[in-house]
A and B are shown apart, each in its own frame.
Chain A
Amino acid sequence: MSQTTVTEEPPRPRPSVRPTTLRRPRLPGWSRGALLLGSAAIGTATGLVAGLESRVQWGLIAALVFVVGGFALTSAVEGRRQAVDRLAASLVWTSFLVAVLPLASLLWETIARGIPGVSWYFLTHSMNGVLSWQDGGGIYHALLGTVQQVLLASVIAIPLGLLTAVYLVEYGSGRLARAITFFVDVMTGIPSIVAGLFILSMWIMMMGFGYSGFAGALALSILMMPIVVRSTEEMLKLVPNELREASLALGVPKWRTILKVVLPTAIGGITTGIMLALARIAGETAPIILLVFGNNMINGNPFEGAQSSLPLFVYEQWAFGTESAYDRAWAAALVLIAFVMILNLAARAVARWKAPKSGR
Chain B
Amino acid sequence: MAKRIDVTGLTAYYGTHKAIDDISMHVEPMSVTAFIGPSGCGKSTFLRTLNRMHEVTPGGRVEGKVLLDDEDLYGPGVDPVSVRRTVGMVFQRPNPFPTMSIYDNVAAGLRLNGSYRKSELDDIVEKNLRGANLWNEVKDRLNKPGSGLSGGQQQRLCIARATAVEPEVLLMDEPCSALDPISTLAIEDLIGQLKSTFTIVIVTHNMQQAARVSDRTAFFNLAAVGQPGKLIEIGDTDRIFSNPTVRATEDYISGRFG
Contact = CB atoms under 8 A, between A and B. Distances in A.
B112 A250 contact: yes
B194 interface: no
Contacts of A250: 84-85, 88, 108-109, 112-113, 161-162, 165
B95 interface: yes
Given A173-B58, A265-B97, A356-B147, A247 B91 contact: no
B242 interface: no
B81 A252 contact: yes
Contact of B97 (A173, A249, A261, A359): A261
A359 B147 contact: yes
B82 interface: yes
B53 A245 contact: yes
B145 interface: yes
6 contacts: A245-B91, A250-B85, A251-B84, A251-B113, A252-B108, A360-B148
A358 B162 CA distance: 22
A246 B58 contact: no
Interface residues of B, number: 32
Given A253-B81, A358-B147, A248 B53 contact: yes
Interface string B71-96: 00000000001111110110101010
B99 A264 contact: yes
Given A240-B95, A242-B95, A249-B53, A357 B145 contact: yes
Given A242-B91, A245-B91, A251-B81, A256 B147 contact: no
B112 A359 contact: no
B53 A265 contact: no
B224 interface: no
Interface residues of A, number: 25
Interface of A: 173, 240, 242-253, 256-257, 260-261, 264-265, 356-360
Contacts of B108: 247, 250, 252
A134 B88 CA distance: 75
A356 B100 CA distance: 8
A253 B112 CA distance: 9
B225 interface: no
B128 interface: no
Nearest to B149: A359
A247 B89 CA distance: 10
B89 to A, nearest CB: 4
Contacts of B95: 240, 242-243, 245-246
Interface string B150-169: 00000000100110010100
A358 B112 contact: no
Contacts of B167: 251
A218 B51 CA distance: 47
Contact of B165 (A251, A256, A356): A251
B223 interface: no
B213 to A, nearest CB: 21
Nearest to B99: A264
B98 interface: yes
Nearest to A256: B112
Given A250-B88, A260-B112, A359-B144, A265 B165 contact: no
Contacts of A357: 98, 145, 147-148
A32 B193 CA distance: 66
A247 B97 CA distance: 9
Given A242-B93, A260-B112, 16 more contacts: A173-B58, A240-B95, A242-B91, A245-B53, A245-B89, A246-B95, A247-B97, A248-B84, A249-B51, A249-B88, A250-B162, A251-B84, A251-B85, A252-B113, A356-B98, A357-B98
Contacts of B162: 249-250
A266 B195 CA distance: 37
B82 A251 contact: yes
A138 to B, nearest CB: 44
B182 interface: no
Interface string B100-140: 00000000110011000000000000000000000000000
Contacts of A261: 97, 99, 112
B158 A246 contact: yes
Which 9 pairs across A and B sit closest by C-beta, in order of nearness? A359-B148, A251-B85, A359-B145, A356-B98, A250-B109, A249-B89, A242-B95, A251-B84, A252-B112
A215 B145 CA distance: 46
Contact of A245 (B56, B113, B144, B148): B56
